[in-house]
């Protein structure tokens, strides 16, 4: 039923604004079979964009992704509109102009006088309110957000954003249309940051906070989140790619939009980086150097240590249970005890999964924390944390154990929640809160985070792996140690924890 509501391929799609994003969106609609009309206020820019798109279609032919006949047919459907009046017959107009509210409002006010009343109007804004852009329109019900990700021809995700006045038929029509184009649409209410930019904030924010707390250097934090957490890129290399100024501006925008909620607090360290002009790849220097011949700093990795002869497993290790099979496969003698939820090393030290507490709190005990991994079987690195009072012998036994399992080992500072566990707990918290506020479904949130930012699992998938009791425990312990409200678990996490216990 939804698919039947898609705009017919014979109908014209117009794109206003022909920068990188506008060109990408136009190419997607063109390849999907629509006549596409480009318009830009800058003289000759639309014509230059049409030539650039034709060039990219040619490269698709060279790569075998499009036949010459398909390229010629697509090029024949692409045209330039010198004036807005030339868009009068469009069934869909997508705007991709500068991110300024007044500019977008003025554009759509003019478009509304040009197109038919059944024409769908859409903005590709990534940071402005869809509701506000449509606020002065005569027919705001037909207005939606279609947030494509750059590069639009390659990335599958499109956030279909409903403003306060958007009619369901308009959102459904937009959803069906981009799905027909071969994209993966997700529905989202008009909220600061929409889905990806709202829920992804902890991925950057916790890494920056850990850096400020001197838990580890940027290269090491990146390596742990990649090699242990399963994330495609680390937050420091990713923000260098995005641009530190862009990433910090999005963070600050979301923080301000949520009335400076402590869960979205920007980083002073990132602010200083932006102020220094070190914006990442585009300036040749960000967290890392990108000048010719520059070498990336290596993450902290421990030297080889002997494997312990035996290990005792106490109780159920939960998500870390696969480590037991790895230990047995490594030929290390294994004993099991019924109670606990941790390992005991030969020297008597305890090896525990990060739970939001710090090692220094265990006075008189030999404790080593290990970080959360997405998949302990495939993870290539494990992070450990100890207190200054932990003996070198206990640490070496822990290092040797994980090295015997084929993992590189990184030792970080003694910070509550470590790196991966802390980040994932916050991602789950923001996702649950968004779902419970009707921003999007759990399924759409998971899809958005997997496709939009290449996470190894969506937040609800992480929660299913860990259990809400573990997530709530992590957040509660962090909140006790950082009583600012940043880590206080949302009501939805607590509710799900109780429901989980009752099953």
pLDDT category at 127 given cuts 50, 70, 90 is confident
Evaluated on CA atoms 490, 247, 356, 345, the torsion sign reads: positive
- First and final CA of the chain: distance in angstroms? 36
Phi and psi angles of residue 311, each rounded to the nearest 5 degrees, phi first: -145, 145
Alpha-carbon span 24 to 12, nearest angstrom: 16
295-315 residues labelled b (16+ CB within 10 A) or e (exposed): eeeebbebeebebbeebbbbe
How far is residue 70 from each of residues 22, 76, 79, 169, measured CA to CA in Å?
21, 10, 16, 32
Q: Write out the DSSP string of 184-224.
A: EEEEEES-TTTTHHHHTHHHHHHHHHHHHTTS--HHHHHHH
Segment 405-428, tens digit of pLDDT: 999 999 999 999 999 999 999 999
Segment 264-314, tens digit of pLDDT: 999 999 999 999 999 999 999 999 999 998 999 999 999 999 999 999 999
Strand 342-344 with 350-353, pairing? antiparallel
Active-site residue list: 126, 147, 159, 197
β-strand partners of 95? 16, 123
pLDDT at 352: 96
Mean pLDDT of 219-230: 98
Tokens 């409200």 belong to which residue? Answer: 485
| Contact by Cβ (8 Å): 351, 323 | no
501 preceded by a cis bond (ω within 30 of 0): no
pLDDT category at 2 given cuts 50, 70, 90 is low
pLDDT category at 4 given cuts 50, 70, 90 is confident
| Contact by Cβ (8 Å): 295, 444 | no
pLDDT at 42: 86
Give SS3 for 44.
coil
pLDDT at 503: 84
Segment 229-276, tens digit of pLDDT: 999 999 999 999 999 999 999 999 999 999 999 999 999 999 999 999
pLDDT at 71: 93
Alpha-carbon span 274 to 248, nearest angstrom: 8
Segment 335-357, tens digit of pLDDT: 999 888 899 999 999 999 999 99
pLDDT at 474: 97
pLDDT at 435: 98
76: which 2 tokens?
A: 């024949």
Segment 140-171, tens digit of pLDDT: 999 999 999 999 999 999 999 999 999 999 99
pLDDT above 60: residue 1: no
Residue 352 has, within 13 A of its CA and on its CB side, a CA count of 20
β-strand partners of 123? 95, 145
pTM, 2 dp: 0.94
Mean pLDDT of 85-104: 96
Q: Write out the DSSP string of 316-375.
A: --GGGTHHHHHHHHTT-EEEEESS-SEEE-TTS-EEEE--S--GGGSTTS-EEEE---S-
Tokens 């009046």 belong to which residue? Answer: 85
From the list 132, 131, 134, the residue with the least C-alpha distance to 121 is 134
* Range in 13-17, 236-240, 361-365, 485-489 with the lowest mean pLDDT: 361-365
155: which 2 tokens?
A: 């990335």
34-62 residues labelled b (16+ CB within 10 A) or e (exposed): bbbbbbbeeeebbebbbeebeeebeebee
pLDDT at 15: 98
Segment 352-381, tens digit of pLDDT: 999 999 999 998 889 999 999 999 999 999
Helices 420-436 & 201-212 angle (0-180, nearest 10): 140
The H or E element containing residue 443 is: helix 442-453
How much of the chain, in percent, has pLDDT values that exceed 90?
Answer: 95
Burial of 122 (C-beta count, 10 Å sphere; 0-12/13-18/19+): buried
Average pLDDT, the chain: 96
């Amino acid at each position: 039923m939804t698919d039947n509501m898609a705009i017919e391929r014979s109908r014209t799609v117009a794109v206003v604004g022909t920068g990188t994003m506008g060109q990408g969106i136009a190419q997607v609609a063109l390849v999907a079979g629509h006549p596409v009309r480009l318009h830009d206020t800058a003289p000759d820019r639309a014509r230059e964009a049409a030539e650039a798109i034709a060039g990219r279609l040619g490269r698709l032919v060279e790569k075998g992704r499009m036949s010459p006949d398909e390229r010629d047919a697509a090029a024949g459907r692409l045209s330039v509109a010198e004036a807005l009046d030339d868009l009068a017959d469009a069934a869909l107009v997508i705007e991709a102009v500068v991110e300024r509210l007044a500019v977008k409002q003025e554009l759509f006010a003019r478009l509304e006088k040009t197109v038919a009343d059944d024409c769908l109007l859409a903005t590709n804004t990534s940071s402005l309110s869809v509701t506000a852009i449509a606020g002065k329109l005569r027919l705001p019900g037909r207005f939606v957000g279609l947030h494509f990700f750059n590069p639009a021809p390659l990335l599958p995700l499109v956030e279909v954003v409903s403003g306060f006045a958007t009619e369901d038929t308009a959102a459904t029509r937009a959803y069906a249309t981009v799905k027909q184009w071969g994209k993966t649409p997700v529905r989202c209410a008009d909220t600061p940051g929409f889905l990806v930019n709202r829920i992804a904030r902890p991925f950057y924010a916790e890494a920056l906070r850990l850096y400020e707390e001197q838990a580890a250097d940027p290269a090491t934090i990146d390596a742990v989140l990649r090699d242990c957490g399963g994330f495609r890129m680390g937050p420091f290399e990713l923000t260098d790619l995005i641009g530190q100024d862009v990433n910090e501006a999005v963070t600050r925008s979301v923080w301000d939009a949520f009335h400076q909620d402590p869960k979205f607090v920007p980083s002073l360290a990132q602010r200083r980086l932006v102020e220094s002009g070190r914006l990442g790849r585009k300036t040749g220097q960000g967290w890392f150097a990108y000048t010719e011949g520059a070498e990336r700093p290596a993450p902290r990795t421990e030297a080889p240590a002997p494997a312990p002869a035996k290990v005792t497993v106490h109780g159920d290790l939960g998500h870390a249970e696969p480590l037991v099979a790895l230990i047995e496969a490594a030929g290390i003698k294994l004993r099991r005890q019924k109670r606990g939820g941790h390992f005991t090393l030969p020297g008597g030290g305890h090896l525990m999964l990060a739970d939001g507490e710090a090692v220094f709190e265990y006075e008189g005990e030999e404790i080593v924390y290990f970080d959360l991994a997405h998949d302990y079987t495939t993870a290539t690195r494990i992070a450990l944390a100890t207190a200054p009072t932990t003996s070198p012998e206990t640490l070496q036994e822990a290092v040797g154990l994980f090295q015997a399992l084929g993992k590189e080992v990184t030792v970080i500072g003694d910070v509550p929640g470590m790196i991966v566990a802390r980040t994932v707990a916050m991602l789950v918290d923001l996702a649950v809160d968004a779902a419970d506020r009707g921003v999007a479904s759990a399924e759409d949130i998971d899809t958005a985070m997997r496709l939009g930012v290449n996470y190894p699992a969506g937040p609800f998938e992480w929660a299913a792996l860990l259990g809400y009791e573990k997530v709530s425990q992590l957040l509660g312990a962090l909140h006790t140690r950082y009583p600012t409200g940043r880590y206080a678990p949302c009501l939805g996490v607590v509710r799900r924890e109780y429901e989980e216990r009752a099953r």
